[in-house]
A and B are shown apart, each in its own frame.
Chain A
Amino acid sequence: MPVLTANSFELLLNRLDGDALLAAEKYETLRLKIIKYLVWKGCPASQSDALADDALDRVAGKIAQGEQIENLNAYTSQVVRFVWLEHARKHKEIVTGDGEMPEIGVAPDIEILQDPDLRLRCLRKCLAETVSNDDDRMLIVGYYDADAGEKNKDARKNLAEKLGLTMTTLKVKACRIRERLERCINECVAALAVTNPANSDTLKRGGETR
């Protein structure tokens, strides 16, 4: 874990923006983007903050060392990817004793589907907790109603009109809600696995840890 110094942190902020307030705002935005990326890649929400800080500290350290960085976002994305792979490799070493990159071979049949009730229970709980807004609930049900098939395109259009959103905004909103929901479900399943060891095997195969 690199040590963040006041000097390196200030250099990073200066690189983001000359104005201190704007620099702080851009720093936070970048940090949130990193967290979002990490969670999407399967990083548990409980670890994503620490990994994001780690990545930013490394970027700040490189700037302090005089590294010439043309595109800060692009450079940060590479660092984040590296940090994530490094973390996943360490985690795999702990779980399996294998030091290779996190490429876990799986059979095409999805064993985790054998216990859909567990996730459904968690989904109901998470919907109540994270999607309390009626519009958001209508959105998640309407947008992801895959059974509607081709009709779903029209249904989504109607849904966008009903909610007063453009199709692009609807899509982004649906993704964000689903992301929040899935993060909650994964944490819920992990918690249930702790209380019910019978579920822990399913959980390990479920890709919560990579």
Chain B
Amino acid sequence: MKQMNSQTSKSETERYLYGEMSDTEREQLEEKFFDDDEFFYSVVGLENELVDRYANGKLSGAELERFERALENAPERRAKIANAVALQAFIAEEKPQTESIVAAVQTRQTFGQRLAKLFSIQTPAVGYAMAGLFILFAVSIVFLLLDNRRKADELAQLQNERQTVFEQKEKDLQTRLADAQTRETELKNQIDTERATSGDLGEELTRERQRREQIQIDIERLRRENSLRPTPTEPQQHAPVIASIFLPNIGTRGGGTIKQNFSIERGTKRIAVRLALPDDAKAGERFSVALNEKNVAKDLAVLVSSGGQKAVQLTVSPNDLLDGANKLTVTNAAGAEVSQYVFNMQKR
């Protein structure tokens, strides 16, 4: 319904809205409402405009007459007018700057009306004088208006500049504020984190302090011990910590008489002793060993070498050994003596 937007169609629609159409014309037009939404809303839109203009006192002359005549036959439009007044009041509230513009326009109209009234009471002589004055006045007005406009432009420019400076400053401050807020948040998070972990840190610190004190004590002790230790005057010969001896089986149960001679250095901590068992000793048997009639080991397993030789191994303290003849006795689980070893030990 694009043709409805033309001037002819607008006037046709106005005739419809003003109730100036015949029934047939009106029916034909209303039929289009059901075919074309856009057309329907163009009619509604035009009615809204007329109603708004009427409500704002902007209809005049023949247009006003037509509108008011139509109002007699379309009373529902009164509600629309009332709504338009409310809507304009609301818009005025929403847009106070628009209101000030309207007020300025109204002021100018009032002044124009006063001027017209002044001319309406003139005589011919006064009329020429007034006309001259009016021209002078008009020129002055034009000059003032131009000057006013220039000043207004300058003012607007200054305001713009001031606004720009203000906006820049505000932007800078906003940036700084944002930075400060970010930093504050970071610090707060850090403080929170530190608060949350301060208990653990405290404990750890205490432990560290105790450890440090212990180390200091140890150092002091070491220093003290170091100061007490005699300074070696000659190179010291260190004794082996462990010595090993092997006592072969002499082949007879009940006591061998072959003596072997060993010597150990003083300072030897332990002596590993390997005792060869008789050939009839069984691999799964368990044995006990006594040194100089004193039990020094029990429940010893049999060790079998790659050559098939069986033995038991134990360690003894050098303190248990006599400086001289010593006797080792091996007994089985039943307590029967399996083998005996006699040897000489010399402690140097």
Contact = CB atoms under 8 A, between A and B. Distances in A.
A42 B79 contact: yes
Given A77-B30, A124-B90, A174-B45, A105 B81 contact: no
B89 interface: yes
A160 to B, nearest CB: 14
Given A145-B95, A171-B41, A176-B41, A104 B85 contact: no
B118 to A, nearest CB: 27
A172 B31 contact: no
Nearest to B78: A207
A18 interface: no
Contacts of A174: 45
A106 to B, nearest CB: 6
A141 B34 contact: no
A207 B77 contact: yes
Contact residues of A: prevailing secondary structure: helix
B56 A206 contact: no
Contact of B79 (A73, A148, A175, A207): A207
A96 interface: no
A129 to B, nearest CB: 14
Contacts of A41: 76
A146 B105 CA distance: 14
A81 B30 contact: yes
B73 interface: yes
Say whether chain B's binding surface is mostly helix, strand, loop, or mixed. Answer: helix
A185 B31 contact: no
B90 A112 contact: no
A141 B53 CA distance: 16
A104 B86 CA distance: 24
Contacts of B88: 144, 146-147
**What band does the interface of chain B fall in when counting residues whose beta carbon is under 8 Å from A?**
35 or more
A74 B31 contact: yes
B91 A141 contact: yes
Given A42-B76, A171-B42, A73 B82 contact: no
B297 interface: no
A106 B34 contact: no
B42 A206 contact: no
Interface stretch (B96-104, B147-155, B216-224, B260-268): B96-104
Contacts of A147: 56, 88, 91-92, 98-99, 101-102
Given A73-B34, A171-B41, A144 B81 contact: no
Interface in A54-90: 71, 73-74, 76-78, 81
A71 B33 CA distance: 13
Chain A: number of interface residues, binned into ranges: 35 or more
B90 A123 contact: yes
Nearest to B73: A103
B158 interface: no
B37 interface: yes
B52 interface: yes
A110, A112, A171, most chain B CB atoms within 10 A: A110
Interface in A105-150: 105-106, 108, 110, 112-113, 116, 119-120, 122-124, 127, 140-141, 144-149
Nearest to B68: A108
Contacts of B21: none
Contacts of A104: 75
A140 B99 CA distance: 17
A174 B41 CA distance: 9
16 contacts: A30-B34, A33-B37, A78-B31, A116-B86, A123-B86, A124-B90, A141-B90, A145-B91, A146-B53, A146-B58, A146-B88, A147-B56, A147-B92, A147-B99, A178-B48, A181-B83
The 3 closest A-B pairs by CB, nearest first: A42-B76, A119-B86, A74-B31
Interface of A: 30, 33-34, 36-37, 40-42, 71, 73-74, 76-78, 81, 102-106, 108, 110, 112-113, 116, 119-120, 122-124, 127, 140-141, 144-149, 168, 171-172, 174-176, 178-179, 181-182, 185-186, 205-208, 210
